[in-house]
Copies of this chain bind each other. A is one copy, B any other.
């Protein structure tokens, strides 16, 4: 930590800061600049002390040197964290694709979607049973009924499932049915919920908040890890900017940057990131080219009939195309994408570039 003193700070003020730093267990060192005194303070700095110091007379500002997160940092753990979900290794050299509808609407829709995801070579099924919706008058999800349908789809296809939880009640319920629980963008700083998923022993897919900095996002992951759950999958899903031509601005440079700062796997959601079906395919390829460990993509058997997020859902045929293109792209990047039972020859034939 570096304490910058005001230009006209007095000797008494400087000594007071020095003394305070000493009491807090810091080792202080003075640097006399041309116009300012700067004090280097060596030691571990709890946030509260930092605030207090900033209030002392003569102090202009405090500059922290160390990152506020620890457990999630690559300094703390050098090797990539690989999260095994029933044999699927998220964060390994394999690229993982999660797909499915925004919401579980009914049994038939979800089972159909799950079969289509499997047929396209997808690895994990997604589907929302608890939907955080901007309007109280919109469809809010099937809740436990939806979770049961998700489990049935998982049993039938053999694919794991992920679903969003929105509070402790829905979390408790979901644990009986799904393989991965998702914390949505709106709940990224719902610290109660973060602490709750820090206690479970299932992987957590943590979406970036729509106005969260990368540091805040990693701090949210730190909440989960500090609770004891190290299985965190980070998910970039677009941030809110002035640009309204897309639903959000997909921040793909966050992918290589977070992989530099943290050992956790990072996936990308090009569906919410763009809100535009026609942009999902190019941004899926771009995400993987940028180093993403996987994708979470919306696909609906009939997007035109979707109860939510229709405009950004791929059709089953479009998902197939994306999977095949990813299978071709990944080897160039030193990675792989398994197409499951889909034969490589038929895949190659199907591709339209």
Could you tell me which residues of chain A, from 130 to 172, have a CB within 8 Å of some CB in chain B? 132-140, 166-168
Tell me whether A189 and B311 are in contact (CB under 8 A).
no
Could you tell me which residues of chain A, from 253 to 287, have a CB within 8 Å of some CB in chain B? 253-257, 260, 273-274, 276, 278-279, 282-283, 285-287
Tell me whether B29 and A307 are in contact (CB under 8 A).
no
Question: Min CB distance, A30 to chain B, in Å?
Answer: 9
Known: A52-B304, A241-B249. 5 other contacts (CB 8 A): A38-B65, A55-B304, A134-B189, A250-B251, A285-B333
- A189 touches which of B168, B186, B278, B288 (Cβ 8 Å): B186
Closest chain B residue to A36 by CB distance?
B65
Q: Give the contact-size bracket for chain A.
A: 35 or more
A184-218 near B? 1/0 per residue, CB < 8 Å: 00110111101100000000000000110111100
Tell me whether A332 and B334 are in contact (CB under 8 A).
no
Point out the residues of chain B lying under 8 angstroms from A7, CB to CB.
Answer: 75
Residues of A within 8 A of B (CB): 2, 4, 7, 29, 31-36, 38, 40, 42-44, 46-48, 51-52, 54-56, 63, 65-66, 68, 75, 132-140, 166-168, 186-187, 189-192, 194-195, 210-211, 213-216, 219, 222-223, 226-227, 239-246, 249-257, 260, 273-274, 276, 278-279, 282-283, 285-291, 303-311, 325, 328-329, 332-334, 353
- A34 touches which of B42, B54, B219, B222 (Cβ 8 Å): B42
Point out the residues of chain B lying under 8 angstroms from A254, CB to CB.
Answer: 243, 245-246
Point out the residues of chain B lying under 8 angstroms from A257, CB to CB.
Answer: 245-246, 276, 279
Could you name 8 residue pairs across A and B whose Cβ atoms are closer than 8 Å?
A2-B63, A34-B43, A51-B307, A63-B63, A167-B167, A211-B211, A214-B245, A250-B251
Tell me whether B286 and A287 are in contact (CB under 8 A).
yes
Once A35-B66, A242-B240, A245-B214 are accepted as A-B contacts, the answer to whether A279 and B253 lie under 8 Å apart by CB is yes
A211 to B46, CA, bound (A): 28
Closest chain B residue to A220 by CB distance?
B134
Question: Min CB distance, A108 to chain B, in Å?
Answer: 17
A226 to B214, CA, bound (A): 35
Question: Min CB distance, A155 to chain B, in Å?
Answer: 29
A29 to B215, CA, bound (A): 29
